[in-house]
Amino acid sequence: MNPVLQVKQVEKYFGRATNLTRALNQISFELQSGEFVAIMGASGSGKTTLLNCIATIDRVTSGQIIVANQDITKLKGGQLNQFRQKQIGFIFQDFNLLDTMNAFENIALALSIRNVGVKQIEEKVLKVASYLGITDILYKFPYEVSGGQKQRIAAARAIVADPAIVLADEPTGALDSRSARQLLEQFELLNERLKSTILMVTHDAFAASYTNRVLFVKDGQIFNELYRGTLSRKAFFDQIIEVVALLGGDVNDVR
């Protein structure tokens, strides 16, 4: 079975020839279908740049990123737009919901763009809403719900079109601890029951402890990697904290 995501010797530079900054340094890793993986690292380590390159928000300087057997570094124009619509779901820290649409309409938007039929849209939205525990707020507008509920609406929007991979950028960053825990539990559920492949960037060791695997990035390279395996979440959390301490510069960000 081919991996859902392959990152191969990726480099990313910012700036001009006389003042270049290397954000990613020949970084390589893979994600298999159905994995829930966290990327951790200190500020400036390259983790957000990496996520943005996978999401096609940024373009790599060199190397390959292959998603669902497509080399996305070679896509342009209409092909790139189609890829984004069909293969990538993105969850932003600040929700990015449309205030003029209710929750149902925000979630359904990804399907409407793809000309999915009305009946099928309703079935898909109700299914993902039930998994995320937001069925009772589908006809409320973003200003009428809590931050945690907004993020679950955003998660439903990212997942409803069955993308190859869901990318989450600090999804708990704007949430209180209770809402963050609820969201992470829903991510676990989506991963286990729908086999959603999720790649999450986070500063938070607590959030990372919900995943199956953690990649630690330092100076644009993979510094370490942890697999949860049969460990309890508490034991996995303790291991994550140990590596965070080795990384340095990020301990105070751990909640």
Cβ atoms within 10 A of the Cβ of 242, count?
A: 12
Per-residue pLDDT tens over the stretch 70-104: 999 999 888 998 898 889 999 988 889 999 999 99
Buried b (16+ CB within 10 A) or exposed e, 188-206: bebbeeeebbbbbbbbbbb
Q: How many residues does the chain have?
A: 255
> End-to-end alpha-carbon separation of the chain, Å?
37
pTM comes to 0.91
Per-residue pLDDT tens over the stretch 154-192: 999 999 999 999 999 999 988 999 999 999 999 998 898
pLDDT of residue 100: 96
Average model confidence (pLDDT) for the chain? 91
- Amino acid symbol at 191: N
Domain regions of the chain by residue span: 34-59+86-253
Cβ burial, residue 166 (10 Å; 0-12/13-18/19+): buried
Share of the chain above pLDDT 90, in %: 76
**Of 202 and 94, the one with more pLDDT:** 202
Q: Is residue 249's pLDDT more than 80?
A: no
Q: Is residue 250's pLDDT more than 80?
A: no
Q: Is residue 246's pLDDT more than 60?
A: yes
pLDDT of residue 231: 96
Residue 159's SS3 state is helix
pLDDT of residue 113: 85
d(CA 189, CA 216): 24
Q: Which class is 34-59+86-253 in CATH?
A: alpha beta
